Amino acid sequence: MGMTMTQKILAHSAGKDCVKAGELITAKLDLVLGNDITSPLAIQEFEKIGLGKVFDKDKIALVPDHFCPNKDIKSAEQANVVRQFARKYDITNYFEVGQMGIEHALIPEKGLVTAGDVVIGADSHTCTYGALGAFSTGIGSTDMAAGMATGELWFKVPDAIKVVLKGKKKNMVSGKDVILHLIGKIGVEGARYMSLEFTGEGALDLSIDERFTIANMAIEAGAKNGIFPVDDVTLEYINAHSKKPYKVFEADEDASYAKVVEIDLSTLDYTVACPHLPSNTKEIANLGDIKVDQVVIGSCTNGRIEDLRVAAKILKGKKVHKNVRCIVFPATQKIYLDAISEGLIQTLVEAGVAVSTPTCGPCLGGHMGILAKGEKCVATTNRNFIGRMGHIESEVYLASPAVAAASAVTGKISAPEEVL
């Protein structure tokens, strides 16, 4: 029996000719990632091991991004633990405030992940890097400690769901609509501990930024990872950002899948996840009149340059509704600079948008965009659980940058065509 793309990567890193779903293996790691929330506990456990050194200072990345710039004394102390550890062990890829970005946009941008890599991160959205043909998955802080010490980690080889994307998207429908539609179709546990393997001509028609968005939210369907085939779009991105060698793996024709899901992209409409689950999706035409108090455009899901271009296109020459607060978070400093050079930031500010430094803050209700009781927000983030962005009686609606920007203008959840 053949292997899926994910299984081939894991077999290679485990030094095995083949692996099968459910098998327990130990695989070598190409990158271990942590942030300012998850790393301090990992560091504490690492020091207990007592090795006095990390397995490879070039294969660890530490990115303070969740509560940075620090919002209070506790978050400052957390960040300082990471900073001191990075200095003590001479960690090459430590990104201080001013150099950092939202980790899952920064890591690919810095060329630290490439096709065929095995990556773990103490953050659930580490699955983002499957867009580049890597196996990447979120783990806990204790596993991060073990990874930093040994450069290896155990995995249970996942079964897979083959997601066949057909046709081409219409209008300003985006990768965010695709992944929300899929999660709505299979549910938040529909891919539990499985690999979501995207394929088909529709998958190859997606931009690299859209692939990042889709792979990022694989975890919202319970998946261990999401992954795309390596094609010219992938290699163009890799060659522009990384000097690391890469290895291309392809699924065998006789690979076994637990399930096959087909999606015709040409039939998709703008899709919104209503409170309080990413699977509670509706096409925008079926939403009704939902007024909003805040719009957030950014995060590790939709804070890339393509997302800011879409938002600026819709907001150009218009004004944010008088009853709406609109906040935009470029995902990295480079994206911020690119947006400045393209005139996107000026367009957004002139429209009445508050533009922030890169941070995860509002996504997890940390800082810079907290919701009050009863408030509603349209966000391009990845989760809309109860209390996710503030008060437990607030509501978050997940949507694409196009829908979010249009909603900022109208004051209610709206399709972009309503304002263009």
Instruction: Summarize pLDDT for 122-138 with one digit per residue, the tens.
Output: 999 999 999 999 999 99
**Structural domain contains residue 314:** yes
Q: Over pLDDT 90: what percentage of the chain?
A: 95
pLDDT of residue 366: 87
Q: Is the pLDDT of residue 104 over 80?
A: yes
Domain that holds residue 291: 272-415
Q: Residue 62 is which amino acid?
A: L
Which whole number is the average pLDDT over 268-289?
96
Identify whether 50 is part of a domain: yes
What's the whole-number average pLDDT of the chain? 96
Q: Is the pLDDT of residue 171 over 90?
A: no
218 lies in some domain: yes
Tell me what pLDDT residue 74 has.
93
Helix (H, G, I), strand (E, B) or coil at 362: coil
Q: Is residue 318 part of a domain?
A: yes
pLDDT at 1 over 80: no
Mean pLDDT of 326-343: 97
Question: Tell me, what's the pLDDT at 337?
Answer: 97
Q: Judge if 246 and 207 occupy the same domain.
A: yes
**CATH number, position 55:** 3.30.499.10
The whole-angstrom distance between residue 207's C-alpha and the CA centroid of its chain comes to: 15
Residues 341, 206 share a domain = no
Within this chain, do residues 104 and 136 fall inside the same structural domain, yes or no?
yes
Task: Indicate whether 278 and 158 sit together in one domain.
Answer: no
Q: Average of pLDDT values for 50-64?
A: 96
How many structural domains is the chain composed of?
A: 2
Nearest to 134, CA basis, from 56, 33, 14, 246: 246
222 in a structural domain: yes
Residue 181 vs residues 6, 203, 334: alpha-carbon distances, Å:
23, 14, 30
Higher pLDDT residue, 419 or 196?
196
> Does any domain span residue 420?
no
Q: Determine contact, residues 211/80, Cβ cutoff 8 Å.
A: no
**Residue 284, amino acid:** I
How high is the pLDDT of residue 363?
Answer: 86
Is 386 inside any structural domain?
Answer: yes
Pairwise CA distance, residues 166 & 6, whole Å:
21
Supply the pLDDT for residue 364: 87
Confidence of residue 362 (pLDDT cuts 50, 70, 90): confident
Considering the domain architecture, whether residues 230 and 203 belong to the same structural domain is answered as yes
Containing 170, the helix (H) or strand (E) segment is: none
Asked whether residue 338 is domain-assigned, the answer is yes
Question: Are 410 and 284 members of one domain?
Answer: yes
**Angle subtended at Cα 135 by Cα 131 and Cα 137, rounded to the nearest 5 degrees:** 95
Task: Select from 240, 263, 286 the last residue of a domain.
Answer: 263
- Whether residue 141 is predicted with pLDDT greater than 80 in this model: the reply is yes
202 and 241 in a single domain? The answer is yes
Same domain membership, residue 166 and residue 311: no
Q: What is the pLDDT of residue 100?
A: 85
